[in-house]
């Protein structure tokens, strides 16, 4: 199945990869150029930027040259900073780390927040242990706390840290808490799409900036969802031949080869 890269997702990925440096905001014209390199037309860029502005993720800010542009909001920067450990510093959890539990109760009059809570916890990589009880590796506590406070959902949630004591074996239980087959499929799709890209780059000498930027942005846009779908469970709890390690190696190889080279296309004058 062909990968889907939406304009909004690509813009967030661009800011996450290259928009937190000291060079300042991206001018609108620059966003159009940079997204054009991966097939997004100018009207789609403008409408997507407007939506991200309404969501509070981008804020208007003039560039050093006085052009109209956009920078990350404080909330967006926190969101991206929280994601860095998962996306770039990925490690499997250990059983000894324990688990974080999110237990929530939402009044019926505010049931729309119940849906938002479930959706957000799922996006953070939580599995469902029982109705209103969600579970994840304990290292996600800080990111979960930041996210729930940012969305003003923290009054409805209690967070706990602990260990699984039974009655089912933990390896059996995680198969109920997470859709491991679905997560494995996502890893395989990433490998099918980006494994050949890495192999092609490994056979080349030079790393042209525009090609590096394009391949890296598309790989990162695909990869950054995976560490949220896959919480990085302890190896002994996963099925044999789990593809997560292989897909992480492919992304790491692309990151090391392409990220800095692509920066030369993003900021060609180094500013």
Q: Spell out the per-residue pLDDT of the chain, length 271, in tens.
A: 446 789 999 999 999 999 887 667 899 999 999 999 999 999 999 999 999 999 999 999 988 888 889 999 988 888 888 788 888 876 667 888 889 999 988 878 787 888 888 888 888 889 999 888 999 999 889 889 888 888 888 888 889 998 888 788 888 999 999 999 999 999 999 999 999 999 999 999 899 999 999 999 999 999 998 988 898 888 889 998 899 999 999 999 999 999 999 999 998 765 5
pLDDT of residue 251: 96
CB 27 within 8 A of CB 58: no
- State the pTM of this model: 0.84
The three-state secondary structure class of 168 is coil
Q: Which fold is adopted by the domain 7-78?
A: Arc Repressor Mutant, subunit A (1.10.10)
Give me the pLDDT at residue 165, please.
85
Backbone angles phi, psi at 160, to 5 degrees: -130, 155
73-112 core/surface letters (b: 16 or more CB in 10 A; e: else): beebbbbbebbeebbeebebbeeeebbbbbebebeeeeee
Which pLDDT does position 199 carry in this prediction? 96
Domain ranges of the chain: 7-78, 99-162, 179-266
Give the DSSP H/E element, type plus range, for residue 134. Answer: strand 133-137
Instruction: Check residue 125 and give left, alpha or beta (phi > 0: left; psi -120 to 50: alpha).
Output: left
> What pLDDT, on a 0 to 100 scale, did the predictor assign at position 90?
66
- pLDDT at position 1 is 42
pLDDT at 255: 96
Give the number of other Cβ atoms within 10 Å of residue 157's Cβ: 20
Q: Residue 28: which residues within 8 A CB-CB, separation 6 or more?
A: 45, 46, 49, 67, 68, 69, 70
- CA distances, 55 to each of 8, 48, 73, 165 (Å): 11, 11, 10, 41
pLDDT value, residue 3: 62
The pLDDT of residue 23 is 61
- Tell which residue, 72, 78, 75, 83, has the closest CA to residue 49: 72
Q: Six-digit token pair at 17?
A: 């990869």
């Amino acid at each position: 199945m062909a990968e889907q890269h939406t304009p909004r997702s690509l813009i967030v990925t661009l800011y996450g990869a290259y928009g937190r440096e000291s060079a300042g905001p991206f001018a609108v014209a620059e966003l159009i150029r940079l997204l054009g390199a991966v097939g997004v037309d100018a009207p789609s860029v403008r409408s997507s930027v407007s939506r991200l502005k309404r969501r509070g993720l981008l804020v208007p800010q003039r560039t050093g040259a006085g052009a109209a542009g956009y920078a990350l909001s404080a909330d967006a920067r926190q969101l991206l900073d929280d994601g860095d450990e998962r996306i770039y510093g990925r490690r499997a959890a250990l059983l000894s780390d324990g688990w974080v539990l999110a237990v929530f109760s939402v009044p019926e009059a505010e049931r729309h927040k119940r849906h938002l809570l479930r959706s957000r916890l799922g996006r953070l990589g939580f599995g469902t242990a029982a109705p209103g009880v969600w579970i994840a590796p304990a290292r996600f506590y800080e990111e979960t706390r930041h996210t729930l406070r940012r969305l003003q959902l923290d009054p409805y949630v209690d967070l706990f840290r602990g260990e699984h004591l039974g009655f089912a074996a933990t390896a059996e239980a995680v198969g109920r808490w997470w859709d491991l087959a679905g997560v494995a499929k996502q890893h395989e799709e990433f490998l099918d799409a980006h494994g050949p890209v890495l192999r092609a780059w490994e056979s080349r000498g030079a790393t042209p900036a525009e090609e590096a930027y394009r391949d890296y942005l598309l790989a990162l846009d695909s990869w950054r969802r995976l560490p949220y779908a896959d919480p990085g469970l302890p190896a002994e709890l996963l099925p044999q031949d789990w593809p997560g390690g292989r897909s992480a190696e492919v992304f790491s190889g692309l990151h090391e080869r392409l990220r800095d080279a692509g920066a030369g296309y993003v900021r060609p004058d180094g500013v």
